[in-house]
Amino acid sequence: MSLQTITIKKPWWMNTNIYELYVDKFAGDLNGLAAKLPYLSLLGIDCLHLLPHFPSPMADDGYDISDYRSVRTKLGTLDDFKNLISAAHARGIRIILDFVLNHTSEMHPWFIEARSSRTNLKRDFYLWNDTPNRLNDATNAFPDIKESNWILNKETGDYYFASFYPQQPDLNWDNPEVEREMLANMDFWADMGIDGFRLDAAPFLVKREGGTSNGLSETHAVIKRIRKHIEAKYPEVILLAEAHQSIALTKEYFGNSDECHMAYHFPLMEALWVELAGIHAGSVGHMVNESFDIPVRCQWAVFLRNHDEISLSTLDPDTRARLIAFFDPQSKYVFKKARATSMRIASIFENNPEKILQAIQLLYSTPGSHIMYYGDEIGMRNLPADPSIIDTRKFVRGQFDWDEAKRQMQDQNSTWNRIATMIRSTRSITD
């Protein structure tokens, strides 16, 4: 009698190669992105993280959403989006949407109503106070852009709370109606066939006096309810947490396999850069050893760069200062009162393609599901600095250079081909 080997297939998010992009910067519009799917397949990509595609005044490059159930006009239509999903799925490529839970645009219909009078029915969708003297210790995410999280509302003479841009009023997650509406918005896209949601600014949802309001137990309770709702209706749809906290606190976003399926590994990102800068040898190995006592069917999303500044918030001040000097010695792209800087990999290792490849190789040699930020595979650099622009993240969000991509694809020794080999090898090793 022979024993039959039973193979249990891992969930798709346990081993996926993610590519993060702006639809317009990468391909013009949704139909253009559908036409570029063969390029992504050749690169070894099997999951797209689409940065916000929703209608927006674009104060924060789309993270200020004015309509959660539509597509920005310049990107196309809902039918175009449905066609993109079908085309991607036909190639075995999944799609994760960037979903902003913490705030809306000031031009969202809810806030237009809420700010109109103190008695409006949508008033309690947001946070208000008569003076700017509440939640004083809460995180101000953009201290370069605003002095306080409390923004004067001229229509009613009081203040609304905004953790990020002043044009991004925070939602009141203590209001059950907010939760019902946001879950309905998620259902809209899950019904269309998307495969996951990146939960933007996940730690910020619930605010309380007496601390930073970062990652409160009440916020984790909200995420658990979101997970329960999504899992009951769409068991293959995942949640990916954006939460830059210590390794111990970041693990909490997995819950007991009842919060997020994945979380960005910000502490490992910091360790990767500490090692690449030659500051502390062995940082990556130490962080990996600290990382994988996580629940079954959960996974880290590992990365070197994304659409934001290189956030270094859990490092000690000396290491952070040394890294920023390594990244940006002329301080052209500093952000958050010079506690971070916005740099692409090829701008850090200017004129040194071997260093770029070393960095990417280190990333893809670490366990987890890996993320490539659009353009890094061809050595895209920062846009030229402009001192009049405070938000330096905009300088890592340039147009993809298709001429350069085509040139490199034809050169077997190019950065593109060598990185594509690295990406594809992660699947052959772990499948």
> 318 and 204 in one domain?
yes
Residue appearing with tokens 């009023």: 169
* 68 domain residue, yes or no: yes
Q: Which two tokens stand for residue 201?
A: 């600014």
* 2 domain residue, yes or no: no
> 181 and 155 in one domain?
no
> 270 and 201 in one domain?
yes
Whichever domain contains 158, its CATH number is 3.90.400.10
Residue appearing with tokens 């622009």: 389
Torsion (CA) 124, 126, 128, 134 in degrees, nearest 10: 120
- Of 170, 188, 221, the residue at which a domain comes to its end is 170
The DSSP string of 108-128 is SHHHHHHTT-TT-TTGGGB-E
Single-letter residue type at 171: L
CB atoms within 10 A of CB 197: 21
| Tens-binned pLDDT, residue by residue, of the chain (431 aa) | 344 555 567 899 999 999 999 999 999 999 999 999 999 999 999 999 999 999 999 999 999 999 999 999 999 999 999 999 999 999 999 999 999 999 999 999 999 999 999 999 999 999 999 999 999 999 999 999 999 999 999 999 999 999 999 999 999 999 999 999 999 999 999 999 999 999 999 999 999 999 999 999 999 999 999 999 999 999 999 999 999 999 999 999 999 999 999 999 999 999 999 999 999 889 999 999 999 999 999 999 999 999 999 999 999 999 999 999 999 999 999 999 999 999 999 999 998 999 999 999 999 999 999 999 999 999 999 999 999 999 999 999 999 999 999 999 999 999 999 999 999 988 754 44
Going from the C-alpha of 55 to that of each of 73, 76, 78, 184, the distances in angstroms are: 7, 11, 12, 17
* 66 domain residue, yes or no: yes
- Of 144, 170, 196, the residue at which a domain comes to its end is 170
> 184 and 165 in one domain?
no
Judged by DSSP in three states, 269 sits in helix
The DSSP string of 292-331 is ----TT-EEEE-S--SS-B--TTS-HHHHHHHHHHH-TT-
Main-chain dihedrals φ then ψ at residue 282, nearest 5 degrees = 85, 5
Main-chain dihedrals φ then ψ at residue 241, nearest 5 degrees = -85, 130
> 294 and 339 in one domain?
yes
Instruction: Check residue 4 and give its pLDDT.
Output: 53
The count of domains in the chain is 2
* 97 domain residue, yes or no: yes
* 4 domain residue, yes or no: no
> 149 and 29 in one domain?
no
Burial class of 105 by CB neighbour count within 10 A (0 to 12, 13 to 18, 19+): buried
> 316 and 364 in one domain?
yes
CA 13 to chain centre: 16
- Of 112, 140, 170, the residue at which a domain comes to its end is 170
User: What's the DSSP call for residue 419?
Assistant: H
What is the domain extent for residue 129? 104-170
Going from the C-alpha of 419 to that of each of 6, 303, 348, 411, the distances in angstroms are: 34, 14, 17, 12
Burial class of 235 by CB neighbour count within 10 A (0 to 12, 13 to 18, 19+): exposed
- Spatial contact of 159 and 152, defined as CB atoms under 8 Å apart: yes
Q: Which two tokens stand for residue 318?
A: 């000396």
The DSSP string of 210-233 is TS---S-HHHHHHHHHHHHHHHHH
Going from the C-alpha of 260 to that of each of 91, 171, 204, 347, the distances in angstroms are: 26, 20, 15, 33
> 180 and 236 in one domain?
yes
* 7 domain residue, yes or no: no
Q: Cα 152–155–158 angle (5° rounding)?
A: 40
Whichever domain contains 274, its CATH number is 3.20.20.80
> 236 and 204 in one domain?
yes
Judged by DSSP in three states, 160 sits in strand
Instruction: Check residue 17 and give its pLDDT.
Output: 98
> 278 and 142 in one domain?
no
Q: Which residues pair with 263 in a beta bridge?
A: 241, 300
* 1 domain residue, yes or no: no
Q: Which two tokens stand for residue 370?
A: 């890996």
Instruction: Check residue 351 and give its pLDDT.
Output: 80
User: What's the DSSP call for residue 51?
Assistant: P
Distance CA 257, CA 275 (A): 31
Single-letter residue type at 276: L
Distance CA 233, CA 42 (A): 33
- Spatial contact of 319 and 267, defined as CB atoms under 8 Å apart: no
Instruction: Check residue 426 and give its pLDDT.
Output: 84
> 225 and 367 in one domain?
yes
> 301 and 243 in one domain?
yes
Catalytic residue set = 200, 242
* 5 domain residue, yes or no: no
